[in-house]
Amino acid sequence: MPARIALLTLLAVVGGGLLRLGADAPRSPDAPRLPELRAATAAEVDAVEAAVRAVGGGLTRRDREASGDVPDLHRRLHTINLGHPVTAEQIDRLPDPDFGYALWVVIDPTTPPGLLARLGRLRHLRRVSVDVRAIPDEPWHMRDGAPPSFAAARVAELAAVPHLEELFLNRGMTEAGFGDDVAAVLQAFPALRAVGTLTGLSDTGAATLARMHRLERLIVGGPGLTDAGFARLSALPRLRDLWVQNRPPLSAASLRPFTLRPRLVRLVVQLDGAEAAEQVSRIHTLEYLSLGMRRREGGVRPELLPLARLPRLRQFQPGEYGSDEEAEVLSRFPALESAVLFRGTDTGLRSLTRIRTLRNLQLLSPAVTDAGLAAVATLPRLETLGVTTGPGVTDAGLDALAAAPRLASLAVGTGASSGRVSYTEAGLRRFVAARGPRLTGLSTSHLGLGDDFVTFLAATAPNLSRLGLGTERGITDASVPALRTLPRLRSLDVGGSSSGRPGLKELEYQVRGVQIVRRSR
């Protein structure tokens, strides 16, 4: 279940994007030529948001969406979010802006037949995400059964949308995903290039998908999907992005067909041993790889060793790194831009700092100390750093990071159960002052910061686009004037509810692009 939650979280961050292919990618002869999309002006987006709010919906602007570590693979779209239940009046009054956009809707047994077909008038709608509920107002945590029988018939109605390129179906917490019946209706979609999550497939459903030569991105799986059925997907000539879940780990035999004419750019799978990893190492086009591998206490998992031969691999997630020895193996990867250290010490961290291509580094090991951060500060391309601090990270570590050549975003938290940290507000202020206008993101916790810090931050780091103060209870409405002076602010985490802080709530609507993230305490 935790793996499912992690995947859903990841999908929320990057899963909605459309794979962009290079100029050398073959174009399927049956792929329709779609109208060109143009960039929208701020005034146009404002007008669309007003029209959507008028029918009871909302708009998530694309500049609010986190791009994760792979922004160059994905096109982000402004997303219209309709309330529930969706009505015919809402759909009929939706705007159809010509800059391209996405739509999120909820369906349940009360959704009347033919309702989603009314979306066919929207010629510029490119992506639809459908939240499928078995009963009206079904809570997310209770969605643990198979998809309801009406799902395929309702999904089929979306074939009326002439230029729909991406379709993502969400059920909730269940491992039982959409299956062969949904795959069958997708054949009628004229422009579909990306589909998820069909994680209830059998070999029959995989064979259906293998005939849809336009497909570039798939999220598939299912207990009934055999290795032979999975291997059939290698016939898709444009497939670049493949996620596999809800089935046993993949064997070497199932992966071998993907090595014959390598074209995958991203692969998210679980592997069955070192022989399967050897096959993955032969897909030399891979740039993004996520592997579900069992944690090992000490030593090196044999699956890691052949993967160091991948020449283009930029982002690699092999599960939790279990040792400093594994960090040393990762240091041999020639092109990595993103890495995570879940366990280990400064020794493992020093190994990772030999990867001079790193742009994003997440340190989730509380054993890291100031000495390790001093080594991190020497990375020439590092732009984003996340640190879960233990007692060994003090102001001296922040002082060292202040000298990092290109560091623009820092998130510092705590791995201690007490919530205490060993660095201070004074050390954080020195870091902010040293980075100044170069600082675009900052997140911190458990320092007892107040409104005076926000005032200092706004004056010192005017280019902030993301600010996380989720555990700082001393931030009040008195900070609103300072926050309004930050012209590029796009994401703000103030934590908790807005009770007693009406000004911060109002800021969500008054400051362009700011997204308030609230957490329950």
The owner of tokens 């009206």 is 136
Q: Quick check: 509 pLDDT over 70?
A: no
Q: Read off the pLDDT band of 125 (50, 70, 90).
A: very high
Which pLDDT score is estimated for 86? 87
Q: Read off the pLDDT band of 172 (50, 70, 90).
A: low
Which pLDDT score is estimated for 68? 42
Q: Which residues pair with residue 517 across a beta bridge?
A: 493
The better pLDDT of the pair 71, 219 is held by 219
Q: Which has the minimum average pLDDT: 90-99, 154-163, 446-455, 503-512?
A: 503-512
Which pLDDT score is estimated for 35? 58
Which pLDDT score is estimated for 4? 40
Which pLDDT score is estimated for 439? 98
Q: Which has the minimum average pLDDT: 219-223, 429-433, 437-441, 458-462?
A: 219-223
Which pLDDT score is estimated for 451? 92
Which pLDDT score is estimated for 249? 92
Exposure string of 75-95, with b = 16+ CB inside 10 Å and e = fewer, is bbbbbbebebbbbeebbeebb
At residue 478, the 3 state secondary structure works out as helix
Which pLDDT score is estimated for 40? 82
Beta strand 194-198 with 217-221 is parallel
The better pLDDT of the pair 379, 196 is held by 379
Question: In the predicted model, what is the mean pLDDT of the chain?
Answer: 84
Contact criterion met (CB below 8 Å) for 298 and 323: yes
pLDDT in tens, 284-336: 999 999 987 666 666 778 888 999 999 999 999 887 666 888 899 999 999 99
Which pLDDT score is estimated for 5? 33
Q: Read off the pLDDT band of 20 (50, 70, 90).
A: very low
Range 64-77 average pLDDT = 46
pLDDT in tens, 89-108: 999 999 999 888 999 999 98
Q: Quick check: 278 pLDDT over 80?
A: yes
Which pLDDT score is estimated for 505? 65
Using alpha carbons, list the distances in angstroms from residue 452 to 444, 455, 475.
Answer: 15, 5, 9
Q: Concatenated DSSP letters for 412-469?
A: EEE--TT---SS-HHHHHHHHHHHGGG--EEE--SS--BHHHHHHHHHH-TT--EEE-
Which pLDDT score is estimated for 59? 86
Q: Read off the pLDDT band of 495 (50, 70, 90).
A: low
Q: Where does residue 344 rank: exposed (0-12), middle (13-18), buried (19+ CB within 10 A)?
A: buried
Range 158-170 average pLDDT = 95
Question: Would you state the structure tokens that stand for residue 190, as one six-digit string?
Answer: 């004229």
The better pLDDT of the pair 65, 287 is held by 287
Amino acid, res. 463:
N
Which pLDDT score is estimated for 69? 39
Cβ neighbors of 258 (< 8 A, separation 6 or more) are 231, 234, 264, 279, 283
Structural domains of the chain in order of their starting residue, each with its CATH number: 1-16+43-221 (3.80.10)
Which pLDDT score is estimated for 241? 96
Q: Read off the pLDDT band of 9 (50, 70, 90).
A: very low
Q: Which has the minimum average pLDDT: 59-68, 143-152, 288-297, 460-469?
A: 59-68
Cβ neighbors of 23 (< 8 A, separation 6 or more) are none
Q: Quick check: 346 pLDDT over 90?
A: yes
Which pLDDT score is estimated for 165? 95
Which pLDDT score is estimated for 22? 32
Q: Read off the pLDDT band of 58 (50, 70, 90).
A: confident
Contact criterion met (CB below 8 Å) for 138 and 165: no
DSSP 8-state class, residue 320 = S
Q: Quick check: 222 pLDDT over 50?
A: yes
Which pLDDT score is estimated for 503? 75
pLDDT in tens, 412-438: 987 555 557 889 999 999 999 999 999
Q: Quick check: 267 pLDDT over 70?
A: yes
Question: Cα–Cα distance between 19 and 265 in angstroms, integer?
Answer: 10
At residue 219, the 3 state secondary structure works out as strand
Which pLDDT score is estimated for 508? 56
Read off the pTM.
0.83
pLDDT in tens, 227-262: 999 999 999 999 999 999 989 999 999 999 999 999
Q: Read off the pLDDT band of 19 (50, 70, 90).
A: very low
Question: Cα–Cα distance between 222 and 108 in angstroms, integer?
Answer: 23
The better pLDDT of the pair 117, 65 is held by 117
- 3-state SS track over 385-406: EEEEECCCCCHHHHHHHCCCCC
Report the length, in residues, of the chain.
Answer: 521
Q: Which residues pair with residue 340 across a beta bridge?
A: 362
Q: Read off the pLDDT band of 73 (50, 70, 90).
A: very low
Range 438-465 average pLDDT = 94
Q: Where does residue 154 rank: exposed (0-12), middle (13-18), buried (19+ CB within 10 A)?
A: buried
Which pairs with CB-CB distance under 8 Å and at least 24 residues apart come from 70-73?
A: 70/14, 70/266, 70/288, 70/314, 70/315, 72/20, 73/14, 73/17, 73/19, 73/20, 73/241, 73/265, 73/266, 73/287, 73/288
Which pLDDT score is estimated for 502? 73
Q: Quick check: 462 pLDDT over 80?
A: yes
